Amino acid sequence: MMAYELHLLTNYLIVGALLFGIGLIGFLSRRNMIVMFLSAEMMLQGVSISLVAWGRYFNDLDGQILVIFIITVAACEAALALALILMLFQRRGNLDIALWHDLRESNQPPYVDRELPETPPYASGPWPSLTPAGRRPDLPREETDYRSHV
């Protein structure tokens, strides 16, 4: 009986650690701001799994209550992160976090993109587009340059 509960705890803690590590790798290495946001959420999920496992081991509901608060804080974080992403996108017209590398420390060298072969389009074709409806809005020319064709 004892070994059963311990083994259960071990298994769930390992899954939590794996989720946390994968989310960490994504947050550190991806450059798309929205994918970075998803990775941060994934790290929270890993911690939540560990908390629920400990809560079951000690038969204590506080583990689950802490996860409820994690979900609350994650919702706040999502609202702020998406607002920030929207604002940054309006400034530079791109989701690339590397465009903001002038926020780096003064003694760091700038990041330089290396040359890549020509962009291969998605094999499945472009994303679906919505049927136009109503009057076409007048957009400033700069905005039409980077707007995606949705």
Partner 1 sequence: MNSPQAIFVAATLLGAVAMWLLLPRGQARGRPLGILLGTIGVGLLASQVPRIGRWGEDSVFLILAAVTVIAAAATVTLRNPLYSAIWFGLSLLGTAGLFLLQGAAFLAVATVIVYAGAILVTFLFLLMLANSQGGAYYDRVAWEASLSAFAGTVIVGILSMTTIDVLADPSDRLVAAAATEAELATGVLSDYPIALLGGELFGRHLIAVEVAGTLLLAALVGAAAIVAQSRSNRPAGVSDPGDSPPSAMTENQAKAEQR
We find the least distance from the C-beta atom of residue 51 to partner 1, in angstroms, to be: 9
For partner 1, which is the closer residue by CB, 102 or 113? 113
Q: Which is nearer to partner 1, 107 or 126 (CB)?
A: 126
Least distance in angstroms from the C-beta of 108 to partner 1: 13
Place of tokens 């059963």: 4
Least distance CB 34 / partner 1 (angstroms): 6
CB of 90 or CB of 107, closer to partner 1? 90
Q: Which two tokens stand for residue 146?
A: 């980077």
**Shortest separation between residue 83's beta carbon and partner 1, angstroms:** 4
Closer to partner 1 at the Cβ: 108 or 148? Answer: 148
Q: At closest approach, how far in Å is the CB of 106 from partner 1?
A: 20
Taking alpha carbons only, the member of 74, 65, 25 closest to residue 45 is 74
User: Which residue type, as a one-letter code, is found at position 4?
Assistant: Y
Residues 146 and 91: their CA atoms lie apart, in Å, by 11
DSSP state of 52: H
Q: Is 46 exposed, middle or buried (0-12, 13-18, 19+ CB in 10 A)?
A: buried
Q: Identify the burial level of 50 via C-beta atoms within 10 angstroms of its C-beta, where 0-12 means exposed, 13-18 middle and 19 or more buried.
A: buried
- Give the Cα separation of 63 and 53 in Å (integer): 8
Question: Which CB sits closer to partner 1, 11 or 105?
Answer: 11
